[in-house]
Amino acid sequence: MEGVANVTEGAANVTEGAANLKEGADNLTEGVNNLTEGVDNLTEGAANATEGAANATEGAANATEGAANLTEGVDTSSKGVDNLTKVVANLTEGVDNLTEGVNNLPKAVDNLTEVVANLTEGADNLTEGVANVTEGAANLTEGVNNLTEGVDNLTEVVANLTDGVDTLSKGVDNLTKVVANLTEEVDNLTEGVDNFLPPWGSAFILTPTPASH
């Protein structure tokens, strides 16, 4: 019975270990998903930051071009009006690009913040997953040890039962021999009695004496 109990306990530990492994795998999957989402957000944030930097660069280039055009307009009076108009347009476009770049920066910061949060959550999930996997492995090891102990106990019980059956079988054989010997002794006794009595002895013994009136 101890072996059966150990086998049962071992099976329960194996089941618990499998559940912990599954939970650990789920946590690992969730962590990988969070990391993937964080990488996507990081990529988007980097793209927004790059776009903002490009807009800022373009704005600076437009402003530089506008300044050059302004200088050229001042120096060349015949083209002054056209150059001033172009300067204003370039400056306006540069301001718009700078404004767009500045507006994209908070979004990039938000994306980077979300990335950090997702990475942190992913790391926590991975840590929890590793802990669950470790616990599951320990439970599996304990379950296997209990199963092994249970099998050893069952083997010992079977061996004891086998010894008992062998002993019982020998006892039955001995009893059969004793009965055979007793039967032989009874036959010999009966034969001896028959040989000892005269021929009329058996009839005398077996025939009841008539009752007197």
CA–CA separation, 173 and 183 (whole Å): 15
Residue 34: how many CB atoms within 10 A of its CB?
20
Domain that holds residue 111: 2-150
Asked whether residue 172 is assigned to any structural domain, the reply reads: no
- Domain count for the chain: 1
Cα 137 to Cα 157: distance, rounded to the nearest angstrom? 30
Give residue 176's pLDDT: 87
- C-alpha 1/C-alpha 18 separation (Å) is 26
The pTM (predicted TM-score) of the whole model is 0.38
Q: Which residue has the higher pLDDT, 27 or 213?
A: 27
Q: What is the pLDDT of residue 197?
A: 62
Model pLDDT, residue 12 = 77
At 121-157, the pLDDT tens digits run 888 888 888 888 888 888 888 888 888 888 888 888 8
**For the residues 54-66, what does the mean pLDDT come to?**
78
Tell whether the model's pLDDT for residue 199 goes beyond 70.
Answer: no
Task: With respect to residue 139, please indicate whether it lies within any of the assigned structural domains.
Answer: yes
| CB-CB contact of 16 with 125 (8 Å) | no
Domain for residue 97, yes or no? Answer: yes
In a domain, 209, yes or no: no
Q: Mean pLDDT over residues 188-204, rounded?
A: 65
Query: Is 198 within the bounds of a domain?
Result: no
Query: Which range has highest mean pLDDT (7-16, 66-75, 83-92, 157-166)?
Result: 157-166
In a domain, 171, yes or no: no
Give the CATH number of the domain where residue 27 resides.
1.10.287
Q: How far apart are CA 169 and CA 156, in angstroms?
A: 20
Check residues 18 and 211 and name the one with the higher pLDDT: 18
- Whether residue 90 is contained in a domain is answered as yes
The token pair that represents 3 in the structure block: 């072996």
Report the chain's mean pLDDT, rounded to a whole number: 77
Residues 73-131: tens digit of each pLDDT: 566 656 656 766 777 788 788 778 878 877 877 877 787 788 788 888 888 888 888 88
In this structure, is residue 192 part of a structural domain?
no
